[in-house]
A and B are shown apart, each in its own frame.
Chain A
């Protein structure tokens, strides 16, 4: 998960902090870091994430934000 430069991509609920997810009234933002080599193109990865998250999002629009593109260590 991506957290933003200053861990600003996070949601606080009760005593818990969930990094990489921002829940807004109308929208859920999922922040990710993509690692190369990618199994499929980014738009397809984003679509898979949206498909998985949307049923849990309570009717909110799901948005995927790619924070960084990393090259996996060989």
Chain B
């Protein structure tokens, strides 16, 4: 949400800047632009007419289906953005126990280290999310050869990752393991 807010603010401020430049140019009659021409250039009369028609239709209850859909969509979007803004941000660090945290990157490194020692695994990548309660949510993707016993590798991966994190004192709240069959020539490790 922070990134979204930043994008919205950048667009808003860029729009204000452009508007300011236009105002200065038209106010000072620069480059042949005159303030008296502005309503015609912007098409203000058409805008007024459209607004009058819209308000009239709204008062008479004769809005088109498309207009109603657009208005409802705007209201729903506003509600979603409001809820997203009110939601507390996700914690940055993984809670180990009361008052002790570990960075997500440190947990991810440990997960990769454990997974890449598992027989049959050619390469891995992991993503760790912190939760409000102690424990990490770990999403692990492991690359294996075609035709390997994937269920055996998957259970071995689960065991080794859980064991290693338990040794480090990092609780795991959720562990998702996904195996992807690849050509060994495309993997970093070809034989294990």
Assess the A46–B99 pair: CB atoms within 8 A: yes
Contacts of B102 in A (CB 8 A): 42, 65-66
Judging by beta carbons under 8 Å apart, are B99 and A63 in contact?
Answer: yes
Q: Does B143 contact A (CB under 8 A)?
A: no
Stretch at the interface among B1-9, B60-68, B103-111: B103-111
Best-surrounded residue of B97, B100, B109, B110 (most CB of chain A within 10 A): B100
Given contacts A67-B106, A68-B106, A69-B106, contact A61 B99 (CB under 8 A): yes
Which of the four size classes fits the interface of chain B? 10 to 19
Main secondary structure of the interface of A (DSSP, over half): strand
Partner of B96, one of A46, A50, A67: A46
A2 to B103, CA, bound (A): 11
Contact in complex: A64, B168 (CB < 8 Å): no
- Per the bound structure, the CA–CA distance linking A68 and B105 in Å amounts to 8
The reply on B101 being an interface residue by CB < 8 A is yes
Within 8 A of B (CB), among A54-74: 61-69
Q: Is the CB of B103 within 8 A of A68?
A: yes
Contact between chains at A67 and B103 (CB < 8 Å)? yes
Closest 6 CB pairs of A and B: A46-B100, A66-B102, A42-B169, A65-B101, A64-B100, A43-B169
Binding site for A on B (CB under 8 A): 93, 96-97, 99-103, 105-106, 109-110, 168-170
Residues of A within 8 A of B (CB): 2, 5, 41-43, 46, 50, 61-69
For this complex, 17 residue pairs linking A to B, each with C-beta atoms less than 8 Å apart, are A2-B103, A42-B170, A43-B169, A46-B100, A62-B99, A63-B101, A65-B93, A65-B100, A65-B103, A66-B100, A66-B103, A67-B103, A68-B103, A68-B105, A68-B109, A69-B106, A69-B168
